[in-house]
Amino acid sequence: MDKVNVTINGITVNVPKDYTVLMAAREAGIDIPTLCFLKDINEIAACRVCVVEVDVKGVPMRNLPASCVLQVQDGMNVRTNTPKVRSAVKMNVELILANHNRECLTCLRNGTCELQKLCDELGIDDIEFQGAKREAKIDNLSYSIVRDSSKCILCGRCVSTCRDVQGIGILDFTKRGFKTEVAPAFDFSMKDVPCVYCGQCIQACPVAALRERSYIDDVWDAIDDPEKFVVVQTAPAVRASLGEEFGYPVGTDVTGKMVAALKRLGFDKVFDTNFSADLTILEEGTELLSRVTNGGKLPMITSCSPGWIRYCELNYPEFLDNLSTCKSPQQMFGAIVKSYYAEKEGIDPSKIVSVSVMPCTSKKTEANRPEMEVDGYRDVDYSLTTRELGDMIKRARISFTKLPDEHTDSILGDYTGAGAIFGATGGVMEAALRTVADILTGKDLDSIEYQAVRGIEGVKEASVVLPIGGVDTEVKVAVAHGTANAAKVLESVKAGEKDYHFIEVMACPGGCVHGGGQSHVSAKARLDVNPKINRANALYELDRSLPKRKSHKNPEVMKLYEDYLKEPNGHLSHKLLHTHYVKRDSYIVEQEEEFAKMLEKLDK
Amino acid sequence: MIKGLDVRANERQFIELKEYIDSIRQSQGILMQTLHKAQEIFGYLPIEVQKFIAHEVDVPLAEVYGVATFYTQFSITPKGKHKIGVCLGTACYVKGSQLVLDKLSKELKVSVGETTEDNEFTLEATRCLGCCGLAPVMMIDGDVYGKLEPKKIPEILAKYKD
């Protein structure tokens, strides 16, 4: 790439010519403020917070261009700290604030709000404009995502993320002028749109216009109720992000402190979703082997990610039979707690409250799916996000950083490295391969790290030669993360271009470590740190540190089979641990049936 | 809640729209062109039509809706049998056309841009109609009414009610 010389505040830097002024300024060590800018995702110059004064070879540019989209030119002279720039930026932020619900003290994002931080940095001390404000609408009808129009600053970060990263497009700018609102089509509630509740919009939102629906109060009520026996499970990815709520660097494994905090919060038992991740491998691995040897539907596709399941139900119903019938680890765990565990410990299952802490907002909707119960007992009663757990720990005034490392409780707390890596894209695939390869070869294989399925490339492929029915067979697998990548893989299968045996799909880019329920990482911090990579590394390190790294070596899981389930995919497993899926329609119109018929007719 | 579109009764219109979309698939910016055509065929852009367009053009419904609500030439609600346009140009406004508009709004129980529940009238505000000498002015369908006063409104509306 050709390089050009640009001078920024008197500092000359030599940068590639496709750089924006904003990126060039970073090279020069100059921090230009931004708000709507989300690198590679939302670069639309909407907020005008990153404006600069520019002249090229002595000729001043008209007005103040936005540095996030202004391409560098040789001989460009940029000034970011002139009276003109300072006053324009301040004015632009004040105009945004004039139509913003400024109840910061009672706002969920108090402390993590990017707008709040910007106001502090810019020294905003008064908002002169006392005009009308847009009508406040709060949509809290979905189980997962709350949309609050009074907080929205129309930056468009959620719009770009949903449409371009995830390939879904639930939110867009609607109406115009003062009435402009980022909203679903026809003002549908988030409950009634083909949203998969991945929460990537929440991760993109700089303010609290999009946030998770909180179940914290319900969990406190359960903990405070002496009649209830409250158990908690934490997903693999939570431990790689929870620390960020307490100042740890992005991607610090805080398993021990997390367990200690949960015990101090008053949960009666602290278990681990890693346990049921191992259990999932036994069930799903067995299902895969059975499909491969008995001519079942292939490729088999993982079913751990509820966002992915919803995406498939809404957009690719023709693949429903390809989905593994296994419930997700969250739901498996809940079903085991209220059956096996209750029986073993002699606890009335109706007294058990099953709480999960997830990196995910879609898990809240999954936990509320009507079929996710056994004998009338809900698998999971309340699903919290990593952020909500952070809030509970803060509210209980537990000094997280000073906590000792503690261990999860038996008999549902033990886990292997295979369960631990479920949180990273490719993790479920790798865990499954470790177990399936051992079963098929009849050996305890040493080579267990499948590097080809690791990393953050959108679609990863690998093939492993394994003896199936005595014949060496090339087992072809694919891993996709982010729903747009999932669509790519499914389209290639549909077109007959690819014939995989097994596909792992996670709805969120990067997998669960980058789920919609994880700790917020600001747009600015993301320029230096990639949470997908850092948090995944924490899980792979945890895997390497564990004495057992294959799911079928988990003693507590094997005990569960021995004492209760008897065998994977057996009768009891099917009752407790497996489920089914349904085709879902979206944006239902009054004559939906007629409409669908007409579409089908016209498509021919 | 607006009553949904009768899908079967409008099948011919949907076919016409689909033929139009198929004819422009190769060109750029087909969403705008499609919305114009749909507005022309259906008279408005109900959810059924926008959902159809989203499906055919392969864009999210939110994007279709975003464009349809951005431009004033598109309408989400059906237009009434009679279209009332009250001039809010400078001359009419100074002569009190806002009061005329308010009276109409009250009589018809609709806001500007809306259509009455019985689908009889659509109330709209317009720019200068070119007959400032008659200010304040309104038009109902092709008829011009000048030198208006709010109290004359019920009498005029009565002419259009069956």
| Residue of A592, A176, A99, A311 lying closest to B65 (CA atoms) | A176
In order, the DSSP letters of A40-74 are TTB----S--SB-EEEETTEEPSS--BTTTPBP-T
**How high is the pLDDT of residue B73?**
80
- Is the predicted ipTM greater than 0.90, yes or no? yes
**How high is the pLDDT of residue A128?**
87
Beta bridge partners of A354: A231
- Please compute the mean of the pLDDT values over residues A407-433 and round it to a whole number: 97
Residues B148 and B93 in one domain: yes
Q: Is B64 on the interface with A (CB under 8 A)?
A: yes
In a domain, B6, yes or no: no
Return the CA Rg of chain A. Answer: 25
Residue A476 is among the residues annotated as catalytic for this protein = no
Domains and CATH numbers, chain A: 3-95 (3.10.20.740), 99-126+133-212 (3.30.70.20), 216-577 (3.40.50.1780)
A residues 380-419 lying closer than 8 A (beta carbon) to B = none
Residues B34 and B89 in one domain: no
Residue A94 is among the residues annotated as catalytic for this protein = no
Return the CA Rg of chain B. Answer: 18
Q: Is B62 in Cβ contact with A184 (below 8 Å)?
A: yes
Q: Is B2 on the interface with A (CB under 8 A)?
A: no
**How high is the pLDDT of residue B79?**
84
Residues B148 and B86 in one domain: yes
Q: Is B55 in Cβ contact with A589 (below 8 Å)?
A: no
Residues 6+ apart with CB under 8 A from B116: B80, B108, B109, B110, B122
- Please compute the mean of the pLDDT values over residues A163-174 and round it to a whole number: 98
**How high is the pLDDT of residue A130?**
86
| Residue of A548, A549, A550, A552 lying closest to A567 (CA atoms) | A552
Q: In b/e form, how buried is each residue of A428-447, taking b as 16+ CB within 10 angstroms? A: bbbbbbbbbbbebeeeeeee
**Domain closes at, from B29, B48, B70:** B70
- Please compute the mean of the pLDDT values over residues A494-519 and round it to a whole number: 98
Chain A closest CA to B145's CA: distance in Å? 32
Residue range B78-94, pLDDT digits in tens? 888 898 999 999 999 99
Residues B100 and B151 in one domain: yes
The answer to whether residue A408 scores a pLDDT higher than 80 is yes
Angstrom distance (rounded) from CA A303 to CA A255: 25
In a domain, B5, yes or no: no
| Residue of A478, A534, A482, A536 lying closest to A508 (CA atoms) | A482
The number of folded domains in chain B is 2
Domain residue limits at B34: 11-70
- Please compute the mean of the pLDDT values over residues A116-143 and round it to a whole number: 93
Q: Which of A144, A214, A276, A324 is catalytic?
A: A324
Q: Which of A304, A312, A326, A508 is catalytic?
A: A304
In a domain, B89, yes or no: yes
- Please compute the mean of the pLDDT values over residues A202-227 and round it to a whole number: 98
Residues B141 and B92 in one domain: yes
In a domain, B51, yes or no: yes
Residues B88 and B151 in one domain: yes
Which of A598, A603, A604 to mutate to test binding with chain B, by most B CBs within 10 Å of its CB?
A598
**How high is the pLDDT of residue A286?**
97
Angstrom distance (rounded) from CA B96 to CA A260: 73
Residue A550 is among the residues annotated as catalytic for this protein = no
Q: Is A178 on the interface with B (CB under 8 A)?
A: no
Q: Is A185 in Cβ contact with B59 (below 8 Å)?
A: no
**How high is the pLDDT of residue A282?**
98
Chain B closest CA to A191's CA: distance in Å? 15
Q: Is B69 on the interface with A (CB under 8 A)?
A: yes
**How high is the pLDDT of residue A374?**
97
- Please compute the mean of the pLDDT values over residues A231-260 and round it to a whole number: 98
* Residues above pLDDT 90, as percent of chain A: 97
Q: How confident is the model at residue A1 (pLDDT cuts 50, 70, 90)?
A: confident
In a domain, B94, yes or no: yes
Q: Is B70 on the interface with A (CB under 8 A)?
A: yes
Q: Is A185 in Cβ contact with B48 (below 8 Å)?
A: no
Q: CATH number of the domain at B122, please.
A: 3.40.30.10
End-to-end CA distance of chain A: 48
Q: Is B70 in Cβ contact with A602 (below 8 Å)?
A: no
Q: Is B18 on the interface with A (CB under 8 A)?
A: yes
Residues B119 and B156 in one domain: yes
Residues B90 and B140 in one domain: yes
- Length in residues, chain B: 162
Residues B147 and B114 in one domain: yes
In a domain, B87, yes or no: yes
**Domain closes at, from B70, B103, B119:** B70
Residue A284 is among the residues annotated as catalytic for this protein = yes
Q: How confident is the model at residue B2 (pLDDT cuts 50, 70, 90)?
A: low
- Please compute the mean of the pLDDT values over residues A224-253 and round it to a whole number: 98
**How high is the pLDDT of residue B3?**
66
In a domain, B99, yes or no: yes
| 3-state SS class at A190 | helix
In a domain, B109, yes or no: yes
Q: Is A589 in Cβ contact with B5 (below 8 Å)?
A: yes
Angstrom distance (rounded) from CA A246 to CA A278: 29
Residue range A466-503, pLDDT digits in tens? 999 889 999 999 999 999 999 999 999 999 999 999 99
Residues B97 and B60 in one domain: no
Which of B15, B51, B112 to mutate to test binding with chain A, by most A CBs within 10 Å of its CB?
B51
Chain A closest CA to B65's CA: distance in Å? 6
Angstrom distance (rounded) from CA B160 to CA B162: 6
Residue range B122-156, pLDDT digits in tens? 998 988 888 999 999 999 988 999 999 999 999 99
* Residues above pLDDT 70, as percent of chain A: 100
**How high is the pLDDT of residue A500?**
97
Residues B16 and B51 in one domain: yes
**How high is the pLDDT of residue B1?**
41
Residue range B16-33, pLDDT digits in tens? 999 999 999 998 889 999
Chain B closest CA to A327's CA: distance in Å? 30
Partner-chain residue, chosen from A176, A183, A186, that has the shortest CB–CB distance to B70: A176
Residues B129 and B156 in one domain: yes
Residue range A10-53, pLDDT digits in tens? 999 999 999 999 999 999 999 999 999 999 999 999 999 999 99
* Residues above pLDDT 70, as percent of chain B: 98
Mean pLDDT over the full length of chain A? 97
Q: Which residue of B has its CA nearest to A594?
A: B7
The answer to whether residue A398 scores a pLDDT higher than 70 is yes
Residue A497 is among the residues annotated as catalytic for this protein = no
- Length in residues, chain A: 604
